[in-house]
């Protein structure tokens, strides 16, 4: 019986520990109207990303189409609001990436905070638009799971089985 209690406590502790190192999902919709200043283009794109809060690793896939020409650069920028520009945090893999492009970067603690507050953006540059042809602010993807409250701490398990600790109590009349 004691083994069951110890095992249940170990499982609960592992669950609570894994909940504290969450993987969060992020996305960005890239367009010329998101550039600062706005750009007239038929180009569009999408970033899908996940971040492991324990390792601070951001894994991403970036897709794009309809640009005015070949990509001359693609970067994560920040910190900045939607109406601001900012310096490069990290390049997107490849000097002239073709769609789709996937990769990963490791964020600093400060960059992770900026990401969580929506102050990181993705920018794709072309020769016609060296300051950026399409841009998208990276935002947290709200899912049913991410909106749920954090799990409550595990309740203390009874140390031995007795009629009073059973549910329903063993003394309850049969139905």
pLDDT of residue 143: 73
Q: Which of 78, 44, 35 is nearest to 62 (CA)?
A: 44
Q: How does residue 167 score in pLDDT terms, banded at 50, 70 and 90?
A: very low
Choose the most confident range, by mean pLDDT, from 12-26, 39-53, 134-148: 39-53
175 token code pair: 């139905």
State the average pLDDT over residues 111-119: 97
Per-residue tokens: 116 = 């969580």
- Which residue in 120, 98, 126, 100 sits closest to 39, CA to CA? 126
pLDDT of residue 138: 98
Of 24, 25, 30, 44, whose CA–CA distance to 77 is shortest?
Answer: 30
Q: Omega of the bond prior to 60 within 30 degrees of 0, cis?
A: no
Q: What does pTM read for this prediction?
A: 0.71
Mean pLDDT of 117-127: 97
In angstroms, the CA 59 to CA 63 distance is 14
């Amino acid at each position: 019986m004691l083994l069951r209690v110890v095992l249940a406590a170990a499982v609960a502790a592992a669950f609570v520990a894994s909940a504290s190192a969450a993987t969060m999902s992020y996305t960005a919709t890239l367009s010329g109207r998101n550039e600062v200043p706005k750009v007239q283009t038929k180009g569009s794109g999408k970033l899908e990303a996940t971040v492991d809060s324990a390792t601070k690793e951001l894994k991403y896939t970036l897709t794009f189409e309809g640009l005015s020409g070949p990509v001359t650069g693609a970067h994560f920028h920040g910190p900045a609001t939607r109406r601001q520009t900012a310096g490069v945090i990290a390049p997107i893999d490849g000097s002239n990436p073709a769609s789709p492009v996937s990769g990963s970067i490791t964020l600093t603690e400060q960059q992770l905070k900026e990401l969580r507050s929506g102050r990181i953006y993705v920018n794709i540059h072309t020769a016609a638009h060296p300051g950026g042809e399409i841009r998208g602010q990276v935002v947290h993807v709200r899912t049913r799971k991410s909106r749920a409250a954090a799990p409550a701490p595990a309740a203390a398990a009874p140390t031995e089985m007795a009629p009073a600790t059973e549910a329903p109590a063993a003394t309850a009349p049969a139905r």
